[in-house]
C-alpha cells in the first residue's frame, strides 16, 4: 500500500473512531429511589395464610449492604417472635440504591453485585442502550408462608432496557429492574417512564409493576394486568466512553509519519 493510500485509510479510520467516541456514553454515580405502595403489594400477592399482611418490607440496606453475605442479609435482625408482625414491618418508601462503578470489589459469599457496563448513544438512548446499570442495595420482604421460606431477598439489581418489551401493553416502557441475588429474575417492570437527558444529567421517573420474579408469591395475575405497585426515580451523570480506539488510530498515524520519514532518509 503506498503512503498516500495509507494516509487516506488512516484518516478514514480516525473519522470513524471520532464519531463513535462522540456518540458513545455511559453513566457514573447517582441513585435509584423506590417508593413501594404497601397496599398495592398486599393486594397483588395472593399468599395469605394468617391475619398478617400477605407481604411487607421487613429490612432494607442501602450501600451498607455491599459487605454483607447472602446469609447475613437473609437472617440479619431476625425478630425472636416471628408473629410480632407490627414490629417487623418498616416503611417501603424512599428505598435508595446507589449506582455501582465500572469495576467492583470481589463479592461477599452468595452475593452477585454487578458492575455498570451500560452504554448508549445520547442522541437515541432507547435505540442504542446495551448492558446494565449496577445498583447497590438489598430489600427483604416477609411473606405469609411458613419458615424458612417466609423471607424473600431482592438485591444486587441492574437497571436494564429491553426494547422488545416496550409497548407490549399500555404504559410498558421496556425498562426493568433485574434481581441477581439468590436467583436471576425480573424484580420490577417500569411503566409510564419519562426520560430526560439534559447536559450531562440523565433522569428517569415512572411507576413500578411486578416482575415475574414475584410469580411464585401469587402475583402473576397482577403482573399480567400491569398493576402499578409504586413509583421510582433515577438520577445519574452521563460521561463519554473513553476513546481507546481514537488513541489507537492516533498511534497508527504516528507510525505512518515515522515510516515516511525513514523512507525519505533512505532515498
CB 197, CB 121: distance < 8 Å: no
- Give residue-wise pLDDT tens across range 164-206: 999 888 899 999 999 999 999 999 999 999 999 999 999 999 9
Q: Based on the fold, state whether residues 37 and 64 are members of the same structural domain.
A: yes
Question: Is residue 99 over pLDDT 70?
Answer: yes
Q: Based on the fold, state whether residues 16 and 30 are members of the same structural domain.
A: no
- Give residue-wise pLDDT tens across range 61-95: 998 889 999 999 998 876 655 555 556 889 999 99
- Answer with the residue of higher pLDDT: 244 or 183: 183
What pLDDT sits at residue 29?
96
The domain tally of the chain equals 2
Q: Based on the fold, state whether residues 179 and 95 are members of the same structural domain.
A: yes
Q: Based on the fold, state whether residues 38 and 67 are members of the same structural domain.
A: yes
Q: Based on the fold, state whether residues 233 and 246 are members of the same structural domain.
A: no
Q: Based on the fold, state whether residues 44 and 134 are members of the same structural domain.
A: yes
pTM above 0.85, yes or no: no
Q: Based on the fold, state whether residues 175 and 86 are members of the same structural domain.
A: yes
What pLDDT sits at residue 139?
96
Which structural domain range is residue 254 located in? 1-24+242-267
Amino acid at each position: 500500500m503506498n503512503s498516500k493510500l495509507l494516509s487516506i485509510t488512516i484518516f478514514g479510520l480516525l473519522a470513524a473512531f471520532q464519531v463513535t467516541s462522540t456518540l458513545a456514553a455511559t453513566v457514573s454515580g447517582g441513585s435509584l429511589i423506590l417508593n413501594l405502595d404497601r397496599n398495592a403489594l398486599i393486594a397483588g400477592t395472593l399468599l395469605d395464610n394468617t391475619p398478617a399482611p400477605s407481604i411487607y418490607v421487613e429490612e432494607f440496606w442501602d450501600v451498607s449492604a455491599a459487605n454483607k453475605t447472602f446469609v447475613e442479609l437473609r437472617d440479619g435482625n431476625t425478630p425472636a417472635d416471628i408473629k410480632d408482625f407490627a414490629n417487623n414491618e418498616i416503611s417501603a418508601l424512599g428505598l435508595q440504591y446507589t449506582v455501582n462503578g465500572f469495576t467492583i470489589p470481589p463479592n461477599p459469599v452468595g452475593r452477585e453485585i454487578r458492575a455498570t457496563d451500560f452504554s448508549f448513544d445520547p442522541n437515541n438512548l432507547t435505540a442504542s442502550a446495551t448492558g446494565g446499570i449496577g445498583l447497590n442495595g438489598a430489600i427483604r420482604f416477609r411473606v405469609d408462608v411458613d419458615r424458612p421460606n417466609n423471607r424473600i431477598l431482592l438485591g444486587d439489581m441492574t437497571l436494564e432496557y429491553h426494547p422488545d418489551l416496550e409497548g407490549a401493553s399500555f404504559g410498558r416502557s421496556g425498562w426493568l429492574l433485574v434481581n441477581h441475588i439468590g436467583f436471576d429474575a425480573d424484580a420490577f417492570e417500569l411503566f409510564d417512564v419519562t426520560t430526560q437527558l439534559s447536559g450531562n444529567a440523565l433522569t428517569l421517573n415512572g411507576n413500578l409493576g411486578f416482575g415475574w420474579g414475584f410469580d411464585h408469591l401469587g402475583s402473576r395475575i397482577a403482573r399480567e394486568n400491569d398493576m402499578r405497585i409504586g413509583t421510582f426515580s433515577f438520577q445519574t451523570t452521563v460521561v463519554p466512553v473513553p476513546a481507546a480506539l481514537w488513541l489507537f488510530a492516533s498511534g497508527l498515524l504516528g507510525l505512518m509519519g515515522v515510516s515516511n520519514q525513514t523512507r525519505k532518509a533512505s532515498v
